[in-house]
Amino acid sequence: MTPLIFLFLLSIPPILGIARNSLSYSAMAAASAAVLMLSLLSVNESASILRLSSYISFRLDPLSSSFMVIASVVWVASSTYSISYDISSRSNSISFSLSILSMAAVILSGTYFALLFSWEMMSVAGYFQILSRKNVDISPPYLFILFSEVSTLLLLLMAADIYANTGTLVIGPSIPATAFILGTFGFAIKLGVTPFFISDWLPEAHSAAPANGSVLFSATMTMTAVYCILRLISLSVPDIAAGVIMMAAGAFTLVFASIFAAAAENVKAIPAYSTVENGGSMLIALGTVVVALYYKDALLAAFATGAVLIYVGAHTFGKAGLFMYSGILGKRAAKGELSEITGGTDPISSAGGILSASSLAGLLPFGGGVGEWMLLETLFILVTSGNYGISVISVFVGASVALGGGMSLISMSKLAGFGTSGAHAHSEKSSGAGILVSGGAVLLIGILSTYTIYFFNRAIEEVSGQSFDKLISGLLAVPTGLLITSPGSHGVFGLVSPVFIATIISVSAIAMFAITASSSRRRKVRVWSGGIGVETGSYGSFEYSNPVRIMFRHIFAGGVLPVNREWMFLKKGAKIYSAFSDFSARRIMNSSIGRYMLYIVVALVAVLVYSAI
């Protein structure tokens, strides 16, 4: 199937937006639905290439088709949501449609020239989406375009390095190591990960955009970044150092972002920080794919690639639903603060929001829970790899993932719990439908994760060279095909059955409801103020998450509001390193010859030990 059909369908809505924004959104919903159906048919087909010139071509293969399936579900849901959410801004509808078109072009790009053009087009469309919001501060759109241009610059250097070494701009094998690093950092900027998290640009920019724009930024724009990195990995196996750096950067990002998400009070800042946290998790998963491929462990690489795809689907669907849900909450909250919400949301929106939040909290059997389990399993397996350095790094990264999971449970339960409290309100037209579609999708890919992985098996093979079939089995009461197993060095390392877990939870919940439904007993307790020292008589969202601010008071300003303390942390680290360098230069390098020789010997031994590891 030719990629031209996809691009043609998605190019119509931006033109219709000139006449009427609701027409543009309706056309985009229909076009995205058509793209979804075509992508489903293309997942297991051979590659199809549309070559317009030697510099511009587009490619549809199992990997790109898989990501188009995930993206188009969100595009359908967000376009449907936008029909009632955005009834006046024509410029936003045009920018919204252009963003979707450019994201599709990024995924389908067959040359680096087409990729660069589409990537820049995506950034410019996003910039105008942020500007389309009334009374927006000038800082967020300029921060967004600033970091977007840094991203484009790194990708331009990547393309130049590839052309200098291969003589072609066609996306193909043999990626130089320098080009891979430049490309990975360039794409990772869109994930907001370390070291590009130091300015909080992503949470600020994403939360400043209209709700439907935030959906695209946090759901599918970050997804395109993951796709591009995974595409680079599939073309040429990088050095293990690249995988370790990705794991470390992802872990650092995940920890800080999850803490800030738990402490945040703005209804759009919470999912924005959660986006950075998920970006860190996906970068860790991509790093594990690199490490597994470097060690030629194809089965572990297939398992890690499956984790990436499940995580991408869970993040994309969950974040789309959560930002649409936050858009409704924002209209009922003074200054967008969760603690200032008056009234609840409609039942459909509430159900979709709770489903999305549950997945992003890493709960089984949702897609986010399955993805997090697969990521932790991969890290546990790497601990037993026999390489001391990789084992130590995997332990610390695994601990970071666990901490991030705990913090995300706080932030997501806060947003879903306090957002749905109060009297139910009626939604504007059918805005809740898109939220429920996203929430339902993230539940389905979790419960039916074995079938989801089966469906994307060709894409997994394209990256790892190994089918996932060997990792799907059955056990005792769990029928064959409903159990995911992780590959250890001596056979099965771990296992999970989302269908079995969903069944147990459902039966237990029904039984508990039947037992307690008739009980009218209530226990009243004294309200705890969350450690803020004032008895308010109520227990709100601020009190709920205030223990996080107390526990991590050293990375908060005054123990209350999150600021760029990770930047301050890096500055302190730089000062310590500078002082150490000054001490070394004065006391060792330029002091006695004996100390200098000792320094040389110690450095040599350290290098030899590192090489042995």
pLDDT of residue 415: 86
Comparing 221-235, 376-390, 509-523, which segment has the lowest mean pLDDT? 509-523
pLDDT at 427 over 60: no
Domain closes at, from 519, 537, 554:
519
Whether residue 157 lies inside any domain: the answer is no
Domain count, the chain: 2
Per-residue pLDDT at 516 exceeds 50? yes
Band of the pLDDT at 429, cuts 50, 70, 90? very low
Quote the distance between the C-alpha of residue 348 and its chain's center.
Answer: 25
332 and 255 fall within a common domain: yes
- Asked, for residue 104, whether it belongs to a domain, the answer is no
User: Where is average pLDDT lowest: 140-154, 475-489, 511-525?
Assistant: 511-525
Q: Are residues 259 and 362 in the same domain?
A: yes
pLDDT confidence of residue 90: 66
* DSSP output for 270-286: HHHHHHHHHHHHHHHHH
Is residue 428 over pLDDT 60?
A: no
Q: What are phi and psi of 50, to 5 degrees?
A: -105, 105
Percentage of residues in the chain with pLDDT exceeding 70?
A: 84
Per-residue pLDDT, averaged over 437-459, amounts to: 89
Within a domain: residue 295?
yes
The angle formed by the CA atoms of residues 418, 424 and 428, to the nearest 5 degrees, is: 110
Q: Which of 460, 484, 519 is the last residue of a domain?
A: 519
Q: Report how far residue 358's alpha carbon sits from residue 438's, in angstroms, rounded to the nearest whole number.
A: 12
End-to-end CA distance of the chain: 48
Distance CA 212, CA 430 (A): 14
* Last residue of one domain, picked from the residues 519, 546, 573: 519
Whether the CB-CB separation of 280 and 193 falls below 8 Å is answered with: yes
In this structure, the number of other CB atoms found within 10 A of the CB of residue 51 comes to: 13
Over residues 446-471, mean pLDDT: 89
Q: What is the dihedral of CA 19, 21, 23, 28, to 10 degrees?
A: 120
pLDDT exceeds cutoff 50 at 559:
no
Tell me whether residue 50 is in a domain.
no
Q: Are residues 493 and 591 part of one domain?
A: no
In this structure, what are the phi and psi dihedrals at residue 158, rounded to the nearest 5 degrees? -60, -50
**Choice between 146 and 28, residue whose per-residue pLDDT is larger:** 28
Q: Strand, coil or helix: what is 49?
A: strand
CA torsion sign for 572, 575, 581, 586 is negative
Mapping DSSP to helix (H, G, I), strand (E, B) and coil, where does residue 384 land? Answer: coil
Mean pLDDT of 331-358: 77
Instruction: Give CA–CA dist 590/594, Å, rounded.
Output: 11
Whether 452 and 588 share a structural domain: no
Inter-CA distances, 186 with 101, 144, 443, 590, Å: 21, 14, 32, 40
pTM over the 0.75 mark: yes
pLDDT band for position 537 (cuts 50, 70, 90): low
Q: What is the pLDDT of residue 560?
A: 44
Look at residue 423 in the predicted model and tell me its pLDDT: 46
- pLDDT for 83-92, tens place per residue? 877 656 667 7
Question: What is the average per-residue pLDDT within 380-403?
Answer: 88
Q: What is the pLDDT of residues 29-58, one digit of tens each?
A: 999 999 999 999 988 888 888 888 888 889
248 and 308 Cβ atoms separated by less than 8 Å = no
Query: Distance between CA atoms of 440 and 528, rounded to whole angstroms?
Result: 35
Q: Is residue 56 part of a domain?
A: no
Same domain (yes/no): 457, 597: no
Are 348 and 444 within one domain? yes
In a domain, 371, yes or no: yes
Q: Which pLDDT does position 284 carry in this prediction?
A: 95
Together in a domain, 472 and 383: yes
Q: What is residue 401's predicted lDDT score, i.e. its pLDDT?
A: 92
pLDDT of residue 33: 93
Query: Same structural domain for residues 267 and 398?
Result: yes
613 pLDDT above the threshold of 60: no
Q: What is the pLDDT of residue 50?
A: 85
Q: How far apart are CA 395 and CA 179, in angstroms?
A: 29
The per-residue pLDDT for 118 is 93
The rounded distance, in Å, linking the Cα atoms of 352 and 10 is: 26
Q: What does the pLDDT read at residue 67?
A: 93
The whole-number pLDDT of residue 420 equals 73
Same domain? For 595 and 457 the reply is: no
Residue at 103: amino acid letter: M
Q: Is the pLDDT of residue 199 over 70?
A: no
Structural domain that includes position 598 = 565-612
Most confident of 126-130, 537-541, 552-556: 126-130
SS3 341: strand
Q: Which of 477 and 26 is assigned the larger pLDDT?
A: 26
Question: Do residues 488 and 596 both lie within one domain?
Answer: no
What is the residue type of 384?
T
Confidence (pLDDT) at 197: 56
Return the pLDDT at 530.
65
* 264 in any annotated domain: yes
**Of the ranges 333-342, 511-520, 527-536, which one carries the lowest mean pLDDT score?**
527-536
Least confident piece of the model among 191-205, 309-323, 444-458: 191-205
Q: Which of 186, 220, 185, 189 is nearest to 202 (CA)?
A: 189
Q: What is the pLDDT of residue 512?
A: 84
Burial string for 495-525 (b: 16+ CB within 10 Å, else e) reads bbbbbbbbeeeeeeeeeeeeeeeeeeeeeee
Give the helix/strand (H/E) hosting 494.
strand 491-496
Region for 526 from its dihedrals, namely left if φ exceeds 0, alpha if ψ lies in -120 to 50, beta otherwise: beta
Q: How many residues are given for the chain?
A: 613
Check if the beta carbon of residue 209 is closer than 8 Å to that of residue 63: no
E-strand spans in 328-477?
A: 472-475
- The torsion of the CA quartet 200, 203, 206, 212, rounded to 10 degrees, works out to 180
DSSP-assigned beta bridge partners for residue 49:
59
In the sheet that holds 478-488, the strands lie side by side as 472-475, 478-488, 491-496
Judgement on whether residues 377 and 482 belong to the same structural domain of the protein: yes
Please check whether residue 181 lies inside any domain of the structure.
no
As a whole-number percent, the residues of the chain with pLDDT over 90 amount to: 28
Q: Give the C-alpha separation, 346 to 348, whole Å.
A: 6
Give the pLDDT of residue 431.
62
**Position with higher pLDDT, 540 vs 180:** 180
Instruction: Share the mean pLDDT of the chain.
Output: 82
The pLDDT of residue 202 is above 90: no
Write down the pLDDT at residue 307.
Answer: 93
pLDDT over 70 at 189, yes or no: yes
Average confidence (pLDDT) over 98-102 = 92
Asked if residue 492 and residue 591 are part of one domain, the reply reads no
Strands (E), 346-477: 472-475
